[in-house]
């Protein structure tokens, strides 16, 4: 849990000074913390002008090469911008994130405490959904994330740094889990015993996709790697607009993006809902999402990629269950938490979702 330099200690004045390191022509008026992320700190900045901005402090404990991460993000935005070059400027700026440079002509600012910041334009009249409550959102989300994969399919992946090496690599996550288990307190192990048992039971199945990736049977693409539905922007008619949070764009397999979106779209409750009766897998939304997704990428998918989409969903729900559990066993050093069993509750929630998935889906 990174309590260091969070908004509580960051005065508004300080944030205003940071905001003014970037090239914009607005006067700072106020800020609001956007609290949905687990890693970075984000603030919505209101100005005297018409434009609002998102100022983000990138967590450099998690992201070891922040300048590299920013270069990735800007390069991906530029690539998308070229794809939408036939759009008028207003529409273009609603489809793609716009990052601003500093007066040093860098897309990040490093403050005197060693924190890294970046600034992007807040897309006006855009909305996010933490929970999906209609098939339209699921379908539009599928189209949006599918389109992202489609449009980045010709992006030169050698230009991207691996922001977090082995990010969705199952053996790596198992290794981290086993190390955490070895060091964990008896109390935490006891509290997490059911989850720990499930991790062992699912081990073989949860390595299938990784093995297909390693053998080259499933190819690497440029993937977003954090396709939770709250990372999709919609307009007021619920049409998908723009994919945000491109911090983790890296080479990966399609199942990462398909699955992580399903993990959030098809959960009838929030990721940290503690009443597990409320956590069920919504198969209808699965179908709607898949429809939208395949409409935008299907031509490019191999039979093997298609065959393993359901397992991709199960695997991504599982990997988050595993990562939350590992962080709980490690005494909560990675994700932001609000109370002592928050990570364990998140993990239990994801395991409940897997149970409901298993009851309804064939993999």
Which residues are at the interface with ligand GN1 (CB under 6 A)? 37-39, 62, 226, 228, 245, 248, 271, 320
271 binds Mg ion (CB under 5 A): no
Contact assessment for residue 279 and residue 353, using Cβ atoms and an 8 Å cutoff: yes
Q: Which does 325 bind (CB under 5 to 8 A by kind): ligand GN1, Mg ion, none?
A: none
Per the listing, tokens 């189209």 go with 143
The smaller minimum CB distance to ligand GN1, of residues 139 and 167, is found at 167
Q: Which of 79, 136, 102 has the alpha carbon at shortest distance from 18?
A: 102
Contact assessment for residue 102 and residue 108, using Cβ atoms and an 8 Å cutoff: yes
The smaller minimum CB distance to Mg ion, of residues 20 and 126, is found at 126
Annotate each residue in 205-234 with x if it binds Mg ion (CB under 5 A) or - if it does not, as one string.
---------------------x--------
260 binds Mg ion (CB under 5 A): no
Stretch that binds Mg ion, among 91-99, 153-161, 162-170, 241-249 (CB under 5 A): 241-249
Q: Hey, which bits of the chain come out as E strands?
A: 28-34, 41-47, 53-58, 109-110, 116-121, 221-223, 232-234, 240-243, 250-252
Q: Which does 320 bind (CB under 5 to 8 A by kind): Mg ion, ligand GN1, none?
A: ligand GN1
Q: How many CB atoms lie within 10 A of CB 182?
A: 8
Report d(CA 358, CA 201) in Å as an integer: 14
Q: Whole-number minimum distance, CB 37 to Mg ion, in Å?
A: 6
DSSP symbols for 223-246: E-S---GGGEEE-TT--EEEE--G
Q: Whole-number minimum distance, CB 42 to Mg ion, in Å?
A: 10
Contact assessment for residue 235 and residue 126, using Cβ atoms and an 8 Å cutoff: yes
Which of 41, 140, 147, 245 is close enough to bind Mg ion by CB under 5 A?
A: 245
Which residue is closest to Mg ion by CB? 226
Contact assessment for residue 294 and residue 304, using Cβ atoms and an 8 Å cutoff: no
Stretch that binds Mg ion, among 189-197, 198-206, 242-250, 271-279 (CB under 5 A): 242-250
Report d(CA 260, CA 257) in Å as an integer: 5
41 binds Mg ion (CB under 5 A): no
The smaller minimum CB distance to ligand GN1, of residues 93 and 349, is found at 349
Q: Which does 62 bind (CB under 5 to 8 A by kind): Mg ion, ligand GN1, none?
A: ligand GN1
Q: Whole-number minimum distance, CB 293 to ligand GN1, in Å?
A: 18
The smaller minimum CB distance to ligand GN1, of residues 102 and 246, is found at 246
**Burial (Cβ within 10 Å: 0-12, 13-18, ≥19) of residue 150:** middle
Contact residues toward Mg ion (CB under 5 A) are 226, 245
């Amino acid at each position: 849990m990174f309590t260091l330099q969070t908004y509580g200690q960051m005065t508004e004045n300080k944030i205003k000074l940071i905001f003014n390191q970037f090239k914009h022509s607005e006067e700072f008026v106020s800020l609001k913390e956007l609290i949905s992320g687990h890693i970075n700190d984000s603030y919505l900045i209101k100005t005297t002008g018409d434009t609002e901005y998102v100022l983000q402090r990138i967590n450099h404990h998690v992201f070891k090469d922040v300048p590299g991460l920013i270069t990735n993000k800007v390069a991906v935005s530029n690539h998308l911008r070229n794809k939408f070059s036939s759009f008028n400027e207003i529409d273009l700026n609603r489809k793609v994130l716009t990052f601003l440079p500093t007066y040093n002509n860098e897309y990040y600012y490093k403050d005197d405490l060693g924190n890294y910041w970046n600034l992007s334009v807040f897309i006006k009249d855009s909305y996010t959904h933490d929970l999906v409550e209609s098939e339209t959102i699921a379908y539009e989300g599928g189209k949006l994330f599918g389109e992202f994969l489609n449009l980045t399919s010709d992006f030169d992946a050698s230009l991207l740094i691996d922001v977090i090496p082995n990010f969705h690599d199952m053996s790596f996550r198992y290794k981290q889990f086993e190390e955490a288990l070895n060091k964990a307190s008896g109390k935490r192990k006891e509290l997490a015993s059911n989850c720990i048992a499930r991790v062992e039971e699912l081990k073989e199945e949860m390595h299938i996709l990784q093995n297909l990736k390693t053998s080259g049977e499933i190819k690497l693409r440029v993937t977003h790697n954090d396709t939770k539905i709250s990372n999709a922007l919609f307009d007021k008619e619920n049409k998908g607009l723009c994919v945000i949070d491109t911090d983790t764009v890296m080479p990966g397999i399609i199942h990462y993006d398909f699955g992580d979106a399903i993990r959030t779209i098809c959960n009838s409750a929030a990721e940290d809902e503690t009443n597990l009766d409320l956590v069920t897998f919504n198969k209808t939304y699965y179908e709607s999402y898949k429809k939208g997704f395949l409409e935008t990428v299907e031509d490019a998918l191999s039979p093997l990629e298609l065959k393993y989409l359901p397992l991709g969903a199960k695997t991504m729900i599982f990997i988050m269950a595993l990562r939350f559990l590992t962080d709980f066993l490690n005494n909560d050093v990675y994700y932001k938490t609000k109370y002592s069993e928050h990570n364990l509750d998140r993990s239990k929630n994801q395991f409940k979702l897997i149970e409901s998935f298993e009851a309804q889906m064939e993999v």
